[in-house]
């Protein structure tokens, strides 16, 4: 019997500031409440686990001391540090807010908790949906991400002698994670994302394959705007299973951003919950041991449904499509899965298909030879 853990407590949603903030913490709470409404934590095989805060030593495995100190200083409301130097500003993607150090270290602690539960064999899969800060760099914030919980957790797993494959299905390129392991073959990173020619952070071309002993271990599958379920899953199937099987990891770490959804306001990919479920089911097949984190997802009516579906797949449960009455009454959501699909102009679809084919050809040509494929 598979065992699973969902890592969560209220401390992860303590981030309260401007009303219209994109990285709205309430999306975490809505997801947790939806899972609870489905009675997701009622079995001994699916536990709700309370995370610990990460300590400073954990942060320093990836981030510079200067940067960690600066986040702590902004968190206390002190303005003597130079915010711009660390890519913070009041009006951009990375605003400074009181308590940011505490909540950010809690998020890192939650991903580390998920990693430990899996590494110690207590569970087969652990999900921290508050995690997934895949853009954060050693010395600065980026794209709503303050600390890179993903990199810190992967380093922690490597420290235990485990072989790690990382798969990132967020709509944005996993630049921070790729950069952290760009020169090593100890982590295989694979990112599927909307092309950086259009979307932040601007990187993630198939030609970014790693350097030195890392050559062939950074894999990028950029996709065109309006890429739909069919094209996305086709692209995934062309590349991901072969590489992961050949790499043969001990543990799979996945970033499950759901900003690929067609209703997401910040991206132009066109997935539905059906496509998203298709991705998670494939990951489920590939994962011997599985550490899952959240990521992007900025449409409130979508995020809780996607991550609830994802956790259902992790614990081998098929949730009824009708959302439990108690939740419907609170938030008005009625169906777990999408009832409509976006309609695509055939010319646009053809272009998205052509773009995906080109990306796949690039990965096959540039990466596959390093894996004997
Ligand atoms: Zn994203």
Token representation of residue 122: 């207590």
Cα separations (Å) of 153 from 133, 232, 255? 11, 27, 12
Total residues belonging to the chain: 373
What pLDDT shows up at residue 18? 42
Residues 360-364: contacts with CB within 8 Å, 24+ apart? 360/221, 360/235, 360/238, 360/239, 362/205, 362/206, 362/207, 363/206, 363/219, 363/220, 363/221, 363/239, 364/238, 364/239
Out of 135, 156, 173, 261, which one is annotated catalytic? 135
| Å from CA of 232 to ligand 1 middle | 16
- Residue 17 has what pLDDT? 45
23: CA distance to ligand 1 center in Å? 10
Tell me what pLDDT residue 98 has.
85
pLDDT in tens, 54-91: 999 999 999 999 999 999 998 998 876 788 888 988 77
Digit-coded pLDDT (tens) for 178-220: 999 999 999 999 999 999 999 999 999 999 999 999 999 999 9
**Ligand 1 centre distance from Cα of residue 135 (Å):** 9
Look at residue 25 in the predicted model and tell me its pLDDT.
67
**Ligand 1 centroid from CA 295, angstroms:** 6
Question: Which residues of the chain fall below pLDDT 70?
Answer: 14-25, 80
- Can 156 be counted among the known catalytic residues? no
Token readout for 7 is: 């890592």
**pLDDT number for residue 325:** 97
């Amino acid at each position: 019997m598979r065992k699973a853990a969902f890592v969560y407590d209220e401390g992860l949603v303590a981030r309260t500031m401007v009303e219209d903030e994109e990285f709205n913490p309430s999306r975490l709470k809505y997801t947790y409440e939806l899972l609870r409404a489905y009675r997701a934590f009622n079995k001994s095989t699916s536990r709700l686990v309370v995370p610990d805060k990460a300590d400073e030593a954990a942060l320093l495995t990836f981030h510079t001391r200067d940067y960690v100190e600066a986040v702590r200083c902004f968190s206390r409301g002190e303005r003597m540090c130079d915010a711009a130097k660390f890519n913070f500003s009041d009006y951009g993607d990375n605003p400074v807010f009181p308590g940011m150090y505490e909540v950010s270290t809690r998020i890192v602690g939650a991903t580390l908790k998920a990693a430990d539960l899996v590494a110690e064999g207590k569970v087969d899969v652990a999900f921290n949906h508050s995690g997934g800060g895949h853009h954060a760099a050693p010395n600065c914030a980026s794209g709503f991400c303050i600390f890179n919980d993903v990199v810190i957790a992967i380093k922690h797993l490597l420290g235990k002698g485990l072989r790690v494959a990382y798969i990132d299905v967020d709509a944005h390129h996993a630049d921070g994670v790729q950069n952290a392991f760009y020169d090593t073959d100890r982590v295989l990173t694979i990112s599927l994302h909307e092309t950086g020619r259009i979307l932040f952070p601007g990187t993630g071309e198939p030609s970014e394959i790693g350097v030195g002993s890392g050559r062939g271990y950074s894999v990028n599958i950029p996709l065109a705007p309006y890429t739909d379920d069919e094209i996305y899953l086709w692209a995934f199937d062309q590349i991901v299973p072969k590489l992961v099987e050949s790499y043969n990891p001990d543990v799979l770490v996945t970033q499950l951003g759901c900003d690929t959804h067609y209703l997401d306001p910040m991206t132009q990919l066109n997935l539905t919950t059906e496509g998203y479920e298709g991705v998670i089911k494939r990951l489920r097949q590939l994962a011997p041991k599985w550490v899952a984190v959240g990521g992007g997802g900025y449409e409130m009516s979508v995020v809780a449904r996607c991550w609830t579906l994802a956790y259902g797949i992790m614990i081998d449960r098929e949730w009824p499509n009708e959302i439990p009455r108690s939740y419907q009454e609170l938030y008005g959501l009625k169906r777990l899965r999408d009832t409509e699909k976006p309609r695509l102009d055939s010319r646009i679809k053809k272009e998205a298909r052509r773009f995906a084919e080109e990306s796949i050809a690039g990965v096959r040509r540039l990466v596959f030879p390093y894996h004997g494929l």
